[in-house]
Amino acid sequence: MKPTSVLISGGGIAGLTLAILLKRMGWEPTVVERNDAPSAEGYMMDFFGSGWDVAERMGLIGDLNAVHYPIKRIEFVRGDGRPYMTVPIERISRALSHRYVYLRRSDLERILFNRVRNKGVAVRFGTTIDTLTDRADGIAATFSDGTQGEFALVIGADGIHSRVRDLVFGSQRSFMRYLGYYVAAFHFPDSHHDLGNAVKIHEETDRTAMFYPLGAMRADATYLFRYPDVGHVPAGDRMALLRKVFAGAGWIIERVLDEQPGAAPVFFDSATQVAMPDWYAGRVALIGDACGCLTLLAGQGSHMAMAGAYVLAQELERAATHQEAFAAYQRFLKPHVEKRQRDAAWFSKYFVPSERSRPWLRRLAVDAIFSSLGIGLMMGQFGGKSVLANYK
């Protein structure tokens, strides 16, 4: 087999990981990325498990450890900002054998992008695929900049609203499972909110806010709220919706929104999973959120995006045909993704307090989950171990 030209739509976590691995194996990947440049800002993520494993196999651990935020504790705070429960980060890190970092999605993307650039992979920013035509001997693509090209394979790594999925598999609504929340994330100047070196979480019925210190008087805010599925919210309406939903919220939650300039948050979307019967068709396959979005409620989307890229690259390298490779990739990874989707869907009922929640019971549960024993058990059950541990 060994076709050389692979078009990858999406220069995010999955797409860049795949490009690096294919290039290393002697293939010729081309990445098209809708944005004009790598993201400068982005939400915070926990990175461990399968993601850490792939990063280690790619020699990226030094880069991951070099990303450093002044985060020492997680504090659950009351309406006046005083903590009622504190979890040392060291406890979580120890449960994961110190194979764990906090970083922003944009940090991970930058690490991968630097590697892609050093390897000489072509990344065409500000470009998307217009059409794809599957031919007997390849696949023809036309692009938003008016150019066209022929490729042996096309990989859709273009995230939850994948263009490749739309083009090849049809209407996206049928693959979407809304989990009942919207999420927004943005950076803000933190000169007077006194976050210190703790992630601070304030929970109220149907709405939660998390604040992460980024250092140099900057912080990241992540707002999560229960809301009916209203589909896509236009950029210009997002701040107004957030302010409406979080009106009257305690601690600094409302103030941070009021102080934010009129611009929309950097990230705003619904928590929606993507579940499809098949992840490939003809010469096209999907990876990452495009075919198996877990949502932030799983806390492992980037891990599985990297694991998907890794498994697909391995299978393409060793199978006789791309059909065999795509089938083996799906056979191995899909059950792992589906388990995490089921876990996240179950967890979604409890992630943010509801009217039925009993605050004292919730505190007991959170306290138990974040005890040394609880974290060890939870990580054993939910993603602490790499899915690639037994992958040959």
Ligand X SMILES: Cc1cc2nc3c(=O)[nH]c(=O)nc-3n(C[C@H](O)[C@H](O)[C@H](O)COP(=O)(O)OP(=O)(O)OC[C@H]3O[C@@H](n4cnc5c(N)ncnc54)[C@H](O)[C@@H]3O)c2cc1C
**Does residue number 55 form part of the binding site for ligand X (CB under 6 A)?**
no
Cβ(353)–Cβ(201) under 8 Å?
no
Closest CB 142 distance from ligand X, rounded Å? 13
Cβ(357)–Cβ(72) under 8 Å?
no
**Does residue number 11 form part of the binding site for ligand X (CB under 6 A)?**
yes
CA dihedral 148, 154, 155, 157 (to 10 degrees): 10
Residue choice 29, 213, 288, 384 for contact with ligand X (CB under 6 A): 288
Distance CA 47, CA 340 (A): 15
* Stretch of 27-35, 199-207, 213-221, 314-322 contacting ligand X, by CB under 6 A: 27-35
**Does residue number 58 form part of the binding site for ligand X (CB under 6 A)?**
no
Hey, is 289 helix, strand or coil?
helix
- CA-wise closest residue to 8 among 132, 106, 115: 132
* Stretch of 300-308, 311-319, 332-340, 361-369 contacting ligand X, by CB under 6 A: 300-308
- CA-wise closest residue to 9 among 43, 27, 35, 40: 35
Cβ atoms within 10 A of the Cβ of 138, count?
17
Residue choice 110, 289, 313, 332 for contact with ligand X (CB under 6 A): 289
- Length of the chain as a residue count: 392
Residue choice 45, 141, 168, 311 for contact with ligand X (CB under 6 A): 45
Distance CA 340, CA 363 (A): 24
Q: Closer CB to ligand X, residue 147 or residue 191?
A: 147
Closest CB 254 distance from ligand X, rounded Å? 20
- CA-wise closest residue to 107 among 160, 55, 181: 55
Cβ(155)–Cβ(167) under 8 Å?
no
Q: Beta strand pairing status for 280-281 and 129-135?
A: unpaired
**Does residue number 300 form part of the binding site for ligand X (CB under 6 A)?**
yes
**Does residue number 302 form part of the binding site for ligand X (CB under 6 A)?**
yes
Closest CB 105 distance from ligand X, rounded Å? 5
**Does residue number 301 form part of the binding site for ligand X (CB under 6 A)?**
yes
Hey, is 109 helix, strand or coil?
helix
Closest CB 342 distance from ligand X, rounded Å? 16
Q: How many residues bind ligand X (CB under 6 A)?
A: 35
* Residue list 243-282, contact with ligand X (CB under 6 A): 267
What x-and-dash track marks residues 122-161 binding ligand X by CB under 6 A? ------x----------------------------xxx--
Q: Beta strand pairing status for 73-77 and 198-204?
A: parallel
Residue choice 207, 303, 322, 340 for contact with ligand X (CB under 6 A): 303
* Residue list 220-239, contact with ligand X (CB under 6 A): 222
Residue choice 8, 21, 32, 284 for contact with ligand X (CB under 6 A): 32
Q: Closer CB to ligand X, residue 75 or residue 301?
A: 301
Helices within the chain (DSSP H only)? 13-24, 49-57, 61-66, 89-95, 105-118, 163-169, 238-245, 253-259, 289-292, 301-318, 322-351, 359-369, 372-381
**Does residue number 340 form part of the binding site for ligand X (CB under 6 A)?**
no
Q: Closer CB to ligand X, residue 75 or residue 289?
A: 289
Judged by the rule CB under 6 A, the positions of this chain that interact with ligand X are: 9-15, 32-35, 43, 45-46, 51, 105, 128, 157-159, 163, 183, 185, 222, 267, 288-290, 296, 299-303, 305
